[in-house]
Amino acid sequence: MKIDELILYNNTECRDNLVRIEQLMDGTAADPQEARKTAASCIGEILSVSEEMGFKGNLWHDYLAYALANCENAFSISCERKGYIEGGINCAAKHDFAIFMRLFAIDLYEIDKRYATCFSMLADFENNNEQEKYFNKRIRNKIISLAENLAQAGNADEFFDIMCGFYKEVGVGKYGMFKAFRIGNDRNGNVSVNPVISVEHIYLKDIIGYEMQKKKLTDNTEAFLHGLKANNVLLFGDSGTGKSSSIKAILNEYYDDGLRMIEVYKHQFKDLSSVINQIKDRNYKFIIFMDDLSFEEFEIEYKFLKAVIEGGLEKKPDNVLIYATSNRRHLVREKYSDKEERDDDLHSRDTVQEKLSLAARFGVSIYYGSPDKKEFTLIVKGLAKRNNIDIDDETLLFEANKWELSHGGLSGRTAEQFINYLSYKLKDSEAKE
């Protein structure tokens, strides 16, 4: 059986590379010189994927497991939602898995012997400087474990059971492998959801204070994840108070529970319907994240957002919520003239209601206010302790007070910027001694 005979897995992104390697294995490649060029290209692609994903050990097996884990088709998506499934599609899956078993059994050393290539370097690869690289170690480890288990499968039935379990536990494709996404366009110009490779590792415990606000946010998120009724959330208030950080922390806290996040910018609101159609049937909970959301009077993008949140003919899927941050409580800029009867707007009350209606579509509103002096002191002390800054409290707070007077006032962001400055200053002083 050949790769060209794949039924369900014929659209894997690794397909072309696998076909070329199969030709090398079968001895159907061109002359030895061309074969070596092909081999170099194939090895380069495997190393590129392995570098991005952080693979180590048998990179060939990891690459095959990656192809299987990343291929979205009728079988893999059904397994993601339900686990083991009944029906004729299982026969097609086992047919394809028999082909992949043949690929797992390829002798890389034999290809090297035939063409004087270096495929065998993939058999036991050491990944250096792992701590300096950015990738999702949890997913990396899952795929490496999958590769090891598949390599030991005795037949297509065992292979099938392993893949069913993986899809149910981890998922399939980009939504299984990554936690955060942005909107972009594919090669044909269609709206696509693209993964964010490196996500800031911030957790709720890293945000000092705002316990009531964080509790309100986590309660709503946990209800959402447990299939209960949950609300869209608006975090509003003063700048630098941790609104965006709280939402990023929510993603990291609940990623293992199936939470994913898609960041959307104001100019992309017209694409929201397309994005929701792509994610509505997946076995994940999606938060659409809109940071620093506000609209000037002349901007009409908020009308797209209103239609998506509530009011269109199509019901918003149960696995999608919208979390937004803003410095404005009502999101759309208001003017006194909106409420004055002498304004040339014949229906001024309607104008006001139109501008308030967007904020009203967020069922939960959470206020983040600037900390007072005492709260600012606690934030500074907490950040200093976390960053191992060894300095007496009197000096620390004196310097912090000087900093905030000339750097934006009392806020968590100001405190963090001060600690960053102090860390550098202390290290620089130590280096000069």
Asked if the model's pLDDT at residue 296 lies above 70, the reply is: no
Asked if the model's pLDDT at residue 62 lies above 90, the reply is: yes
- How many whole angstroms separate alpha carbon 14 and alpha carbon 10? 9
Average pLDDT over residues 282-298: 83
Sorting pLDDT into bands at 50, 70 and 90, what band is 295?
Answer: low
Asked if the model's pLDDT at residue 279 lies above 50, the reply is: yes
Asked if the model's pLDDT at residue 83 lies above 50, the reply is: yes
What pLDDT score was predicted for residue 111? 87
- How many whole angstroms separate alpha carbon 57 and alpha carbon 144? 8
Residue 357, Ramachandran bin (φ over 0: left; ψ between -120 and 50: alpha; else beta): alpha
49-63, 225-239, 288-302, 401-415 — which is least confidently predicted?
288-302
Instruction: Name the burial class of residue 296, with classes exposed (0-12), middle (13-18) and buried (19+) by CB atoms within 10 angstroms of its CB.
Output: exposed
Average pLDDT over residues 37-66: 92
What pLDDT score was predicted for residue 313? 57
- Do 47 and 133 form a contact (C-beta atoms < 8 A)? no
Residue recorded with tokens 């000037």: 296
Structure tokens belonging to residue 388: 């191992």
pLDDT digits (tens, 9 = 90+) for 68-82: 999 999 999 999 988
Element of type H or E holding 281: none
Asked if the model's pLDDT at residue 282 lies above 50, the reply is: yes
- How many whole angstroms separate alpha carbon 322 and alpha carbon 358? 12
Mean pLDDT for the chain? 85
pLDDT digits (tens, 9 = 90+) for 110-139: 888 888 889 999 998 887 655 545 567 888
Structure tokens belonging to residue 387: 């960053």
What pLDDT score was predicted for residue 347? 45
Question: Minimal CA–CA distance to 213: which of 371, 337, 24, 83?
Answer: 371
Average pLDDT over residues 230-249: 92
32-46, 198-212, 329-343, 363-377 — which is least confidently predicted?
329-343
**pTM for the predicted model, two decimal places:** 0.80
**Amino acid at the residue 277:** N
Q: Which alpha helices (H) appear in 280-326, and where do they start and end? A: 301-309
- How many whole angstroms separate alpha carbon 293 and alpha carbon 309? 14
- Do 363 and 234 form a contact (C-beta atoms < 8 A)? no
pLDDT digits (tens, 9 = 90+) for 325-348: 988 766 555 554 555 554 555 444
What pLDDT score was predicted for residue 176? 87
Q: Which residue has the higher pLDDT, 32 or 261?
A: 261
What pLDDT score was predicted for residue 34? 85
pLDDT digits (tens, 9 = 90+) for 347-361: 445 544 555 566 677
Average pLDDT over residues 401-422: 88
Asked if the model's pLDDT at residue 45 lies above 60, the reply is: yes
Residue recorded with tokens 């299939």: 227
What pLDDT score was predicted for residue 117? 87
Structure tokens belonging to residue 166: 């993986």
Sorting pLDDT into bands at 50, 70 and 90, what band is 11?
Answer: confident
